[in-house]
Homo-oligomer: A and B are copies of this chain.
Amino acid sequence: MYRPRAWIITIGNELLIGRTVNTNAATIARELTLRGVLVKRIVVVGDSIDEIATAVREALGSADIVVTTGGLGPTDDDMTMEAVAAAIDEPLVLNPEALEMVKKFYGEKGLPLTRERIKMAYLPRGAEPLPNPVGAAPGAYIIYSGSHIIMLPGVPAEMEAMLQEALKKLKPFLPRLCVVEEGITIRGVPESTLAPLLRRAAKSCSDCYVKSHPKGHEVREPVVEVKVLASAPNCETAKSRVRNMLGKLEALLNATHSPGKRGL
């Protein structure tokens, strides 16, 4: 089954100077993964038209879905719409529907439309505005040369509210896949000792993805989380693949590292 590939581009100098931890990228990655999309790359760039446009062009070269966050607001360093327009070679135009959204947002509070507010209604030509139920800046959605581009704001509450709406637009293009992940925590066995067991277990399931995550100290107090992820056309099958793999792992572990034999 074909699984669409995605890139996530998160925009903002605050991410590049380490002031802000990129929770948006994790949220979007999780939502896409659960819908059967393979997230291939996450990129963080600063508030620069060139940097953003370059990243979008790179993403369009290899992704079916490109999600951007950040840079949609009223200030001069909010440049995502302009950068995406440049990347897809379209002009930035005042979108009447987006203007209505902005007008309504400020109008309800009796505030006038200023240059900064109108700016938020400029989208790449051909883009469809995505309503923002939380804040002022509309998002945008456009299909360019077969790739879906979704532009979302950077404020997490706004981004999260709009992501669900944006994903509805993608739905017809997404695989009918159920993705399941479960894990076990193994105590008392160093990750380096587990490695050959994981390799052996993983070989037996081509549709599973097995990964170990050391959480304690490698030998003093080893704690390793092993996560198994599997996808299948229905959730029952995906779940049983994960359970089978976890069962195999536990059997291998008991055979070679039963409590009496631990400490290898």
Which A residues are closer than 8 A to B by beta carbons?
Answer: 13-23, 25-33, 39-47, 51, 55, 73-77, 105-106, 109, 111, 114-117, 120, 134-136, 155, 181, 190-196, 198-199, 209, 211-214, 217-220, 227, 229, 264
Contacts and interface: CB of A to CB of B under 8 A. Distances in A.
Nearest to A48: B40
10 contacts: A14-B227, A16-B41, A17-B39, A18-B26, A18-B29, A18-B30, A22-B25, A22-B26, A42-B43, A75-B194
A116 B190 CA distance: 11
Give chain A's interface secondary structure class.
mixed
Contacts of A116: 192-193, 195-196
Nearest to A217: B135
Contacts of A25: 15, 18, 22, 44
A160 to B, nearest CB: 13
Copies of the protein in its oligomer? 2
A133 to B, nearest CB: 12
A51 B46 contact: no
A119 B260 CA distance: 27
Contacts of A76: 195, 198-199
Contacts of A73: 191-192, 212, 214
A117 B192 contact: yes
Contacts of A17: 29-30, 33, 39, 181, 229
Contact of A75 (B19, B55, B195): B195
